[in-house]
């Protein structure tokens, strides 16, 4: 049977001050009427029934996550005792699925992406499950056709074409590449064989557990006590004791870069991991002065800025360019757009200055 | 006897969003622990007892004004039915004083100035009352020795020295000058005979009423029904009916530019009419990056900016220069410092956009 695993951790630094420790990106209505998490669940609702949708989140966000998803069984919302990147998260999810359904297939996807149109996404998921049904040893990932030399994403170079299903081509993988510099990204775009690494996967639970055991044996061994405790009265205690000790490593590096039987589906939909306020700005309409605006904003002689206020607040600007201005609750951020990469450091400075209550 | 009249009208546009329609500049703690109005009252407390201190304010602000000054008799806080500039305000105040004390002397001063040191200010007030006691026909004003070619203030050119009391020189006035352009302001500074027009006055109530009658007879005639109604049961009705019809004119233009017996005292104290956020910035300490900061602010790679948050809010900035950022309640202003002269237009745009509740 098909299961969906939504990875909904994340601290939300990059959307401060709208995002907070207890309200990270995926719990926000950043783009649209529902939150990114709700949109992610809705994206699979025709493919997977609610009792087979699992959310892996952090303890700080578990309560808000349950509130946002009342249609899901409460036990399907699982809190990691500590964030350990995606490989331990995937291991936990796969063990949960395998315990219920030893031959179960799972979709793994982050809770904080924007994907449109959703029909094309669902088609690609159906194709991926067909690939896995036909070859249970396959690990399927999704590569987005790039339309610009983006330096903020990882890339997958596709290899030989294996098959085409429902118009979607499945390739072998030649290599995974970390975020490139600009000349490299331009070369990737020109080559036509590099795809954005979406971080979305489809595989059998048993297969990914075997792959972790093969390519990251220490992680698999350290995880083993947790796997055995699942469903027992000891589950919570063992999880709290062992999970924070697991190696902090992404599933790409732990498994995908090593396993032979990877398939990358080249998919045509618009995909955006909404990494920071600039990415959000690409999702909303611009005014004639190039400003991306959300909420109540009056902008006078203001250009190329991202201007955001919460429902009940207001932002007024006068004679400024290339800024990000966010008024959220009791906090205001004003940053040059090209300095947003330092927002994490600013948030750390706020914590150091004793303003943890605003984070 | 000596009376103090504090002119506390004003709409507060120039300090939006901290100032609001019901909370204009003088009711704010812009600089220091108490509000500008409270500081203004405190400045005369050793010279004038509370029952001879009058506040002339607007109807929107009367309640907040009474709350801020519980030591004053409630009847001493008088609300103008409509703002008509300073000449009608002075006429009303002078009539109130004269009705109680026909030979009374009055200090007239705006509620929204910063003056330091206060001892020097009090000395100058004592000198002014001596001048008026010696010559009841004198109209005394105060000229501040300029220390820069300020284009935001009016000027008074002093004439012949008349006398010196307690080290304070009293001059005749050669001319009043409106706000100059920059070259003219530089010439005024170089000449050494031009003083900033403080808008503070000392005179007999009877004398200023006579001067208004002589130099602005139409205003005096239109005011006459109000004067006769003061202290009668008709006072409120007559004030509401006639005051809004009075000519909107400043006392300088109505009287001071015409009357012969003006004395200007050249006074050495620091005086600032705190015209907008830039003027406020001159009153607070700067950090090493040239930022003027009030409230909870974390500024990173930020220079020469004015950064202000209310008690319970926070402002965080990253990589910006020469901005004014004010987070107050549910509103945030972000403006280039050199565009603050357009803040009034921005506030009007907010009103037009339906955000009157934030004004």
Which residues does chain B have within 8 Å of residue A296's beta carbon, measured at their own beta carbons? 355
Q: What is the mean pLDDT of residues A71-95?
A: 96
Tell me: pLDDT of A29 over 90.
no
My answer on whether A255 and A142 are in the same domain is: yes
Q: What is the pLDDT of residue B20?
A: 83
Q: What is the mean pLDDT of residues A2-13?
A: 88
My answer on whether A263 and A284 are in the same domain is: no
- Which residue in B has a C-alpha nearest to residue A332's C-alpha? B315
Residue B53 CB burial class (10 angstroms; 0-12, 13-18, ≥19): buried
Domain termination residue (choose one: A255, A272, A289): A272
Q: Which two tokens stand for residue A185?
A: 């990204």
Tell me: pLDDT of A301 over 80.
yes
Q: What is the pLDDT of residue B310?
A: 86
Contact A339 B316 (CB under 8 A): no
- Which residue in A has a C-alpha nearest to residue B327's C-alpha? A332
- Give the separation between CA A323 and CA A345, rounded to whole angstroms: 18
**Do B25 and B14 meet the contact criterion of CB atoms below 8 Å apart?**
yes
* Of A141, A127, A163, the residue nearest A208 (C-alpha): A141
**Do A37 and A6 meet the contact criterion of CB atoms below 8 Å apart?**
yes
My answer on whether A160 and A33 are in the same domain is: yes
**Do A85 and A249 meet the contact criterion of CB atoms below 8 Å apart?**
yes
A27 Cβ neighbours under 8 A, 6+ residues apart = A35, A36, A37, A61, A64, A65, A68
**Do A18 and A308 meet the contact criterion of CB atoms below 8 Å apart?**
yes
Tell me: pLDDT of A284 over 80.
yes
Q: What is the pLDDT of residues A97-110, one digit of tens each?
A: 999 999 999 999 99
**Cis omega (within 30 of 0) on the bond before B228?**
no
Q: What CATH number corresponds to the domain at position A95?
A: 3.90.550.10
A151 Cβ neighbours under 8 A, 6+ residues apart = A179, A180, A181, A182, A185
Interface test with A, best of B16, B18, B19, B298 (most A CBs within 10 A): B298
Query: Count of A–B CB contacts within 8 Å?
Result: 127
Using the structure block, give the residue that is written with the tokens 């005014």.
A287
* Of B269, B259, B4, the residue nearest B135 (C-alpha): B259
My answer on whether A286 and A153 are in the same domain is: no
Residue A340, phi-psi category: left (phi > 0), alpha (psi -120 to 50), beta (remainder): alpha
Number of neighbouring beta carbons within 10 Å of residue B125? 24
- Give the separation between CA A282 and CA A148, rounded to whole angstroms: 13
B198 Cβ neighbours under 8 A, 6+ residues apart = B113, B141, B142, B143, B144, B267, B271
**Do A359 and A16 meet the contact criterion of CB atoms below 8 Å apart?**
yes
Domain termination residue (choose one: B254, B272, B290): B272
Contact A314 B350 (CB under 8 A): yes
Task: Return the DSSP state at B166.
Answer: T
Q: Measure in Å the smallest separation between the Cα of A332 and chain B Cα atoms.
A: 5
- Give the separation between CA B9 and CA B234, rounded to whole angstroms: 23
My answer on whether B262 and B171 are in the same domain is: yes
Contact B316 A333 (CB under 8 A): yes
- Which residue in B has a C-alpha nearest to residue A296's C-alpha? B355
Q: Measure in Å the smallest separation between the Cα of A280 and chain B Cα atoms.
A: 19
Mean pLDDT of chain A: 94
My answer on whether A268 and A283 are in the same domain is: no
My answer on whether B190 and B251 are in the same domain is: yes
Which residues does chain A have within 8 Å of residue B358's beta carbon, measured at their own beta carbons? 314
Q: What is the pLDDT of residues B110-128, one digit of tens each?
A: 998 999 999 999 999 999 9
Tell me: pLDDT of A356 over 90.
no
Residues of B with CB under 8 A from a CB of A: 16-17, 296, 298, 300-301, 309, 312-320, 323, 325, 327, 330-336, 338-340, 342-343, 345-346, 349-350, 353, 355, 358
**Do B273 and B110 meet the contact criterion of CB atoms below 8 Å apart?**
yes
Full domain range(s) for residue A350: 277-358
Q: What is the pLDDT of residues B133-161, one digit of tens each?
A: 999 999 999 999 999 999 889 999 999 99
Q: Model confidence at A285, in pLDDT bands (50, 70, 90)?
A: confident
Q: What is the pLDDT of residues B223-238, one digit of tens each?
A: 999 999 999 999 999 9
Domain count, chain B: 2
Q: What is the pLDDT of residues A145-174, one digit of tens each?
A: 999 999 889 999 999 999 999 999 999 999
Q: What is the pLDDT of residue B29?
A: 83
Residue B128, phi-psi category: left (phi > 0), alpha (psi -120 to 50), beta (remainder): alpha
Contact A313 B298 (CB under 8 A): no
Q: What is the pLDDT of residue B13?
A: 82
My answer on whether B195 and B85 are in the same domain is: yes
- Give the separation between CA A254 and CA A260, rounded to whole angstroms: 13
Q: What is the pLDDT of residues A187-238, one digit of tens each?
A: 999 999 999 999 999 999 999 999 999 999 999 999 999 999 999 999 999 9
Contact A316 B346 (CB under 8 A): yes
My answer on whether B247 and B311 are in the same domain is: no
My answer on whether B178 and B286 are in the same domain is: no
ipTM: 0.82
- Give the separation between CA B20 and CA B25, rounded to whole angstroms: 8
Number of neighbouring beta carbons within 10 Å of residue A129? 17
Q: Could you tell me the pTM of the whole model?
A: 0.83
Contact A325 B334 (CB under 8 A): yes
Contact B314 A358 (CB under 8 A): yes
Q: Measure in Å the smallest separation between the Cα of A179 and chain B Cα atoms.
A: 25
- Give the separation between CA B236 and CA A75, rounded to whole angstroms: 70
Domain termination residue (choose one: B272, B306, B341): B272
Residue B14, phi-psi category: left (phi > 0), alpha (psi -120 to 50), beta (remainder): alpha
Look at residue A256 and give its three-state secondary structure.
Answer: helix
My answer on whether B172 and B288 are in the same domain is: no
Share of chain A above pLDDT 70, in %: 100
Tell me: pLDDT of A10 over 80.
no
My answer on whether B196 and B345 are in the same domain is: no
Q: Measure in Å the smallest separation between the Cα of B2 and chain A Cα atoms.
A: 46
Q: Measure in Å the smallest separation between the Cα of B231 and chain A Cα atoms.
A: 46
Q: What is the pLDDT of residues A114-135, one digit of tens each?
A: 999 999 999 999 999 999 999 9
Q: Measure in Å the smallest separation between the Cα of B117 and chain A Cα atoms.
A: 34
The list of chain B residues with pLDDT below 50 reads none
Using the structure block, give the residue that is written with the tokens 């299961």.
A3
């Amino acid at each position: 049977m098909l299961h969906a695993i939504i990875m909904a951790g994340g601290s939300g630094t990059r959307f401060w001050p709208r995002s907070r420790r207890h309200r990270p990106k995926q719990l926000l209505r950043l783009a649209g009427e529902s939150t990114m998490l709700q949109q992610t669940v809705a994206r699979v609702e025709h493919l997977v029934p609610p009792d087979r949708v699992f959310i892996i989140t952090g303890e700080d966000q578990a309560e808000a996550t349950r509130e946002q998803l009342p249609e899901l069984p409460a036990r399907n919302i699982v809190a990691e005792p500590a964030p350990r990147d995606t490989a331990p998260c995937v291991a936990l999810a796969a063990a949960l699925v395998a315990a219920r359904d030893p031959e179960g297939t799972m979709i793994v996807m982050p809770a904080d992406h924007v994907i449109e149109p959703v029909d094309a996404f669902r088609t690609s998921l159906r194709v991926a499950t067909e690939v896995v049904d036909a070859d249970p040893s396959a690990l399927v990932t999704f590569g987005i056709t790039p339309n610009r030399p983006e330096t903020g994403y990882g890339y997958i170079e596709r290899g030989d074409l294996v098959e085409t299903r429902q118009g979607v081509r499945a390739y072998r993988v030649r290599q995974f590449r970390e975020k490139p510099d600009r000349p490299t990204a331009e070369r990737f775009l020109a080559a036509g064989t590099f795809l954005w690494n979406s971080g979305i996967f489809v595989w059998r639970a048993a297969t990914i557990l075997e792959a972790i055991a093969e390519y990251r044996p220490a992680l698999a061994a350290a995880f083993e006590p947790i796997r055995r405790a699942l469903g027992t009265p000891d589950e919570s205690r063992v999880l709290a004791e062992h999970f924070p000790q697991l190696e902090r490593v992404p599933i790409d590096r732990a498994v995908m870069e090593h396993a032979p039987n990877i398939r990358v589906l080249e998919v045509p939909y618009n995909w955006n991991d909404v990494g920071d306020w600039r990415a959000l700005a690409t999702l909303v309409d611009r005014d004639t002065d190039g400003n991306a605006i959300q909420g109540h904003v009056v902008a006078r002689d203001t250009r190329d800025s991202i201007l955001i206020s919460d429902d009940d607040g207001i932002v007024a600007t006068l004679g400024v360019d290339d800024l990000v201005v966010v008024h959220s609750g009791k906090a205001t951020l004003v940053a040059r757009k090209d300095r947003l990469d330092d927002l994490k450091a600013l948030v750390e400075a706020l914590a150091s200055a004793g303003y943890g209550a605003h984070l």
